[in-house]
């Protein structure tokens, strides 16, 4: 089993449903974890440690599926199951980003398709989060001055122009630029721009 395969978390207060879903998904080579309540799920699962998605029952005591979805705030992909179809809940769940909203007893193929989509999203989300975490670590290596230089460079200014903006000489900017590229482990301006864009580092506006 691939260590990076997403875990499918099954959250349902009905033990027989949890086990049936786990057996069915396990038979199709999905890795599953089961939880008897939303609180148990929130207390036990590391949402940032590995890719995961969740199949959540809508009607649960204390915290229902919609409330859990709102608490998770799209941190992982969700499929919602319900024993009582409700258009309002379905619309609310889908607008909040649910992969699907399915009625129990759910057909295996419908659930499998939904879980497949959820796992694909989970893999993509985890890859993006991992990339951003690594980029953040690299950016944190920069000194405050190097961050200033980076902001001006990705704004499209040449070294001489950056030097003028920062009140220094071009040679100093070249040194800072070299350090920035070394610490961020890139070798081109487009690569610097991509990092700045992914990290939400806004361009500097010239006065």
CATH (residue range 7-134) = 3.40.50.2300
Is the preceding peptide bond at 105 cis, omega within 30 degrees of 0?
A: yes
CA 77, CA 73: separation in Å to the nearest integer?
Answer: 10
Q: What are the pLDDT digits (tens) for 8-22?
A: 999 999 999 999 999
Q: What are the pLDDT digits (tens) for 143-187?
A: 999 999 999 999 989 999 999 999 999 999 999 999 999 999 999
For the domain made up of 141-198, give the CATH fold: Arc Repressor Mutant, subunit A (1.10.10)
CATH 1.10.10.10 domain locations along the chain? 141-198
Average pLDDT, rounded, for the chain: 91
- Cα dihedral sign, 114-116-121-125: positive
- Give the relative orientation of helices 144-154 and 170-184 as an angle to the nearest 10 degrees: 100
Q: What is the mean pLDDT of residues 126-139?
A: 93
CATH 3.40.50.2300 domain locations along the chain? 7-134
- Tell me if residue 80 falls in helix, strand or coil: strand
Query: Which helix (H) or strand (E) element contains residue 189?
Result: helix 189-198
* pLDDT at position 206 over 80: no
* pLDDT at position 1 over 50: no
- What does the pLDDT read at residue 53? 97
Least confident among 1-10, 17-26, 76-85, 158-167: 1-10
Q: How many CA atoms lie within 13 A of 70 on its CB side?
A: 8
Cross-sheet strand order for the sheet of 31-35: 31-35, 7-11, 52-57, 78-82, 100-103
117 closest CA partner among 71, 76, 86 = 76
């Amino acid at each position: 089993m691939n260590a990076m395969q997403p875990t499918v978390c099954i959250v349902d207060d009905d033990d027989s449903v949890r086990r049936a879903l786990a057996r069915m998904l396990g038979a199709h080579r999905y890795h599953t974890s089961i939880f008897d309540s939303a609180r148990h799920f929130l207390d036990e699962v590391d949402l940032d440690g590995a890719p995961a998605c969740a199949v959540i029952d809508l009607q649960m005591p204390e915290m229902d599926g919609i409330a859990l979805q709102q608490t998770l705030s799209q941190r992982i992909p969700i499929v919602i199951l319900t024993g009582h179809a409700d258009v309002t809940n379905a619309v609310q769940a889908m607008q909040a980003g649910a992969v699907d909203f399915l009625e129990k007893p759910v057909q295996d193929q419908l659930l499998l398709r939904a879980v497949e989509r959820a796992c694909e999203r989970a893999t993509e989300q985890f890859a993006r989060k991992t990339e951003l975490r690594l980029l953040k670590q690299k950016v944190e290596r920069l000194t405050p001055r190097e961050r200033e230089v980076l902001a001006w460079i990705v704004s499209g200014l040449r070294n001489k122009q950056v030097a003028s903006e920062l009140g220094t000489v071009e040679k100093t900017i070249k040194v800072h630029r070299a350090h920035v590229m070394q610490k961020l482990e890139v070798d081109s301006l487009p690569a610097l721009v991509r990092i700045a864009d992914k990290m939400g580092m806004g361009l500097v506006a010239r006065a």
